[in-house]
């Protein structure tokens, strides 16, 4: 049956109907939508939205923002996936503070409360590149704990502003002291003032919350479909260890692929980090170099990450260049409408490399850790102008810019 719709509707749907062989899901959805729009257009009423373009989730009432953490969507890529490969992205930007670290923040505080490790009203202090700090600022605001974040001055300005907006204090450290210097400063402050230090890099609660939430969410969302690859970067190693632990149990054939910066190959080097009895690192890693992937690979191998590798939870180590991460983040935005940062872009770059040699019909899940809005002041957005481009000026000049009528 020929597709019939109004001229205006046809123009609206034309981009979706191109290249039907490559984008059959889009075409099917477009045809159904076209029928609905055509029928409503002929009747002169508003369009009837078909179920396949509506969010299936119920609208819920929450007693606290904390119960909105997790249950983030798994979204199938329509344009960036190679033929015969299904790539799904786990969009952690849908958490209330826009990153996967909201889970960590909730987990470490709940764990500390359950085990009596934190007192009512006690100040929480943690070293963070920003996302963990923002998550902890939210959780602490809800639960009534003052929060202090220790962060190197080199991380994006919007991160420190968001934390301060949430009522937190931000102590900046010398970027030359790297991530290890941030951790040392947080330990100093905790010992000096009697504050609670979550120790995100070695705290088992970090991995536990992902084995309780993120991992089961992925398995549930797959709905019994075979998952061949799971692709994730590492910061603390909590997401990797927690999700991989769950997948080893519920999806044992899934290959766990971890991504690190190409110029800071800490895992690939097989040079170990030494720890004290509490799991804290004793010295920085000799092969660490500054990189563009904020939140990835600090200058030591965290204890949680070391545990994951020692337990055989990592099947393949991949590498991503900062330039490739930024390019893939932009591709996700402009081709898929998904806004993520360099972390998600780096994971996506690695996933596309895996897809080149993956068997036909393979399925993978790629972690997108946060939102691109967290990177506005970073190199990710350095080519995005604030003022009108020449092309935009030409568009503006193409009509007379008639002023509105004066008030009566």
Which of the residues are catalytic?
A: 101, 343
Of all helices (H) and strands (E), which one includes residue 125? strand 124-127
- Contact by Cβ (8 Å): 40, 69: no
Integer angstrom CA distances of residue 128 from 131, 132, 151, 186: 7, 6, 6, 9
From CA 26, how far away is CA 6, in angstroms rounded?
A: 19
From CA 333, how far away is CA 380, in angstroms rounded?
A: 12
Helix, strand, coil content of the chain in percent (nearest 5): 45, 15, 40
Nearest to 142 by CA among 118, 122, 166: 166
Q: Locate 28 and state its tokens.
A: 């099917």
Question: What is the DSSP pairing of strand 74-76 with strand 86-91?
Answer: antiparallel
Total H helices, total E strands in the chain: 14, 9
Total number of residues shown for the chain: 408
Q: Locate 240 and state its tokens.
A: 């990797």
In which order are the strands placed within the sheet that holds 147-152? 124-127, 147-152, 169-173
* Residue 174 DSSP class: -
């Amino acid at each position: 049956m020929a597709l019939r719709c109004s001229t205006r509707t046809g123009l609206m749907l034309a981009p979706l109907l191109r290249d039907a062989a490559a984008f059959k899901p889009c075409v099917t959805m477009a045809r159904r939508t076209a029928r609905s729009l055509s029928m409503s257009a002929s009747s002169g009423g508003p369009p009837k939205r078909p179920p396949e373009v509506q969010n299936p989730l119920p609208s819920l009432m929450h007693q606290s923002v904390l119960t909105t953490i997790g249950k983030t969507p798994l979204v199938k890529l329509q344009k960036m996936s190679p033929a015969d490969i299904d790539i799904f992205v786990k969009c952690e930007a849908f958490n209330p503070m826009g990153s996967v670290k909201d889970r960590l923040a909730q987990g470490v505080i709940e764990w500390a409360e359950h085990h009596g490790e934190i007192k009512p009203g006690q100040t929480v202090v943690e070293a963070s590149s920003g996302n963990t700090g923002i998550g902890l600022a939210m959780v602490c605001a809800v639960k009534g704990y003052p929060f202090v974040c220790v962060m190197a001055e080199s991380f994006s300005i919007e991160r420190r502003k968001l934390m301060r907006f949430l009522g937190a204090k931000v102590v900046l450290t010398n970027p030359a002291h790297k991530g290890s210097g941030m951790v040392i400063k947080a330990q100093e402050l905790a010992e000096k003032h009697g504050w609670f230090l979550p120790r995100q890099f070695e705290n088992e609660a970090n991995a536990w919350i992902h084995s309780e939430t993120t991992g089961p969410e992925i398995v549930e969302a797959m709905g019994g479909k075979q998952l061949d690859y799971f692709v994730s970067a590492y910061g603390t190693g909590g997401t990797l260890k927690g999700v991989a632990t769950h997948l080893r149990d519920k999806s044992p054939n899934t290959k766990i692929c971890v991504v690190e910066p190409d110029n800071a190959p800490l895992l690939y080097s097989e040079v170990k980090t030494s720890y004290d009895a509490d799991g804290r690192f004793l010295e920085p890693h000799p092969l660490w170099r500054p990189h563009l992937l904020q939140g990835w690979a600090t200058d030591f191998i965290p204890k949680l990450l070391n545990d994951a590798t020692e337990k055989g939870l990592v099947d393949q180590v991949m590498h991503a260049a900062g330039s490739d991460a930024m390019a893939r983040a932009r591709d996700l935005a402009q081709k898929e409408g998904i806004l993520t940062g360099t972390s998600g872009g780096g994971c996506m770059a690695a996933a596309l490399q895996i897809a080149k040699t993956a068997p036909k019909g393979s399925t993978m899940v790629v972690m997108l850790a946060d939102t691109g809005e967290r990177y506005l002041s970073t190199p990710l957005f350095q080519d995005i102008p604030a003022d009108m481009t020449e092309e935009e000026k030409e568009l503006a000049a193409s009509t007379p810019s008639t002023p509105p009528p004066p008030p009566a």
